[in-house]
């Protein structure tokens, strides 16, 4: 794992911890007053057990999950998992193409899927370009339909007229918004309900 990836991962873990901690309430309804102490253990003192840069990649198109979870983005870039991804995407098409066509959409071929999705999922990292607008796939906003976009890029022929990465997100199958509005200040998530 390179220094930038580790730093981004560390920031993400710290932010997630802060979000979860900020959501806690004591039995009296007040926020906890516990001081947070972050470990100074060097990265080599930890064992990587999971990685999820892009949604659904590990879940849907990786067969050897333990090996994948222990590997790095440089392993992805070397092509280590391309065979698994290609086979599993082909299996998804075998299973789902008739339903995609039945919904009036045009499925991609396996080759198209790999070409369309490769820049998004290989390497399996969350990409952030601070000079570009925020929003998936440039980071993730709480409101971004990341799984729908990823599935559209993997499963749909994006060269067909009217089909884009947003096609599945725009179907009326999904809730139009979170059930409770997000807050405008940290931790941004709605209070538990």
Domain-wise residue ranges, the chain:
1-46, 53-176
Q: Where are the alpha helices (DSSP H) in the chain?
A: 3-22, 57-61, 65-70, 73-77, 82-102, 110-121, 146-155
d(CA 47, CA 157): 39
Residue 110: left (phi > 0), alpha (psi -120 to 50), or beta? alpha
Percent of the chain whose predicted confidence (pLDDT) is above 90: 42
Q: Which of 14, 55, 10 is nearest to 186 (CA)?
A: 14
pLDDT at 186 over 60: yes
Asked if residues 32 and 99 have their Cβ atoms less than 8 Å apart, the reply is no
Q: Report CA torsion sign: 92, 98, 104, 108.
A: positive
pTM value > 0.95: no
Asked if residues 85 and 121 have their Cβ atoms less than 8 Å apart, the reply is yes
pLDDT at 22 over 60: no
User: For 62-94, what is the HEC assignment?
Assistant: CCCHHHHHHCCHHHHHCCCCHHHHHHHHHHHHH
Greater confidence (3 vs 182) lies with 182
Lowest mean pLDDT among 3-17, 68-82, 85-99, 137-151: 3-17
Question: In the numeric block, which tokens belong to residue 68?
Answer: 């994948």
């Amino acid at each position: 794992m390179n220094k930038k990836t580790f730093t981004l991962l560390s920031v993400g873990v710290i932010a997630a911890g802060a979000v979860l901690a900020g959501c806690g309430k004591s039995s009296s309804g007040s926020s906890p007053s516990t001081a947070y102490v972050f470990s100074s253990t060097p990265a080599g003192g930890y064992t990587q057990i999971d990685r999820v840069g892009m949604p659904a990649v590990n879940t849907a198109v990786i067969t050897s999950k333990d090996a994948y979870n222990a590997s790095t983005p440089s392993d992805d870039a070397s092509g280590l998992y391309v065979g698994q991804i290609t086979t599993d995407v082909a299996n998804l098409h075998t299973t789902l193409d008739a339903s995609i066509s039945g919904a009036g959409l045009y499925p991609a071929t396996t080759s198209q899927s790999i070409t369309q999705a490769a820049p998004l999922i290989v390497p399996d990292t969350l990409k952030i370009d601070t000079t570009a607008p925020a929003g998936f796939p440039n980071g993730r906003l709480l409101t971004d339909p990341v799984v729908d976009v990823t599935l559209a890029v993997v499963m749909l022929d994006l060269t067909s007229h009217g089909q884009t990465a947003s096609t599945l997100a725009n179907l009326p199958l999904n809730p139009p918004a979170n059930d409770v509005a997000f807050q405008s200040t940290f931790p941004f998530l709605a209070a538990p309900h």
